[in-house]
Amino acid sequence: MSERPWLVVGLGNPGPQYAGNRHNVGQMVLDELARRTGSTFGARAGGLLSRRPQAVVAEARLGTLPGGAPGPRVVLAKPTTYMNVSGGPVVALARYFDVPPEQVVMVHDELDIPFADVRLKIGGGEGGHNGLRDTTKALGTKDYVRVRVGVGRPPGRMEAADFVLHDFAKAELKDLPWLVDRAADAVEAVVGEGLEKAQLRFHTKA
């Protein structure tokens, strides 16, 4: 029997007008993981997915095991639906690739974490994040892994919904590549070392 892959999903909204938004940082991280693995996203239809592809997918090995062997199998996925209906593509891919919820990793923006911090957890609440809320509903469980990429709180009286649908500020852009790289490292750590060891690495201040 072949090993079950991990399903790593980067949340965001489709289309170039959203590509630089804070809400799309999860998809930026998936692009970095695809770059690291030398893989290319392609449309996948069929199986349990609808006739029109609901995600672009790349299959790869992520990281390197002790001794130099290729790391675990992963399915990298970016839904092509809007954020608030992310659950359909996620559950369809999980079923298609036979991935249990505890091996589903959602990479997403997080308002309750300062910009440039990365935090990891499994289960718990969605914190008002519509993409996570729809994923929980579709999977029927909260017990999936979240890689939470901090974007900070909106300034002044700015609404959270407006804040996440804006691009990163100029002052943030210089640190954005570092943040994306760190979040990609966190995904690799979860998949290769397990959540608890990854938390020790990424929740400990240097």
Query: Tens of pLDDT along 70-113?
Result: 889 999 999 999 999 999 999 999 999 999 999 999 999 999 99
Buried b (16+ CB within 10 A) or exposed e, 180-203: bebbbbbbbbbbbeebeebbeebe
pTM: 0.92
Segment 124-150 shows an average pLDDT of 94
Contact 55, 78 (CB under 8 A): yes
Locate tokens 């998949």: which residue? 191
Alpha-carbon torsion angle 147, 149, 152, 158, nearest 10: -90
pLDDT tens readout for residues 152-203: 999 988 999 999 999 999 999 999 999 999 999 999 999 999 999 999 999 9
Q: Say which of 23, 108, 166, 203 is annotated catalytic.
A: 23
d(CA 6, CA 77): 11
- Residue 23 designated active-site: yes
DSSP H or E run through 107 = strand 104-110
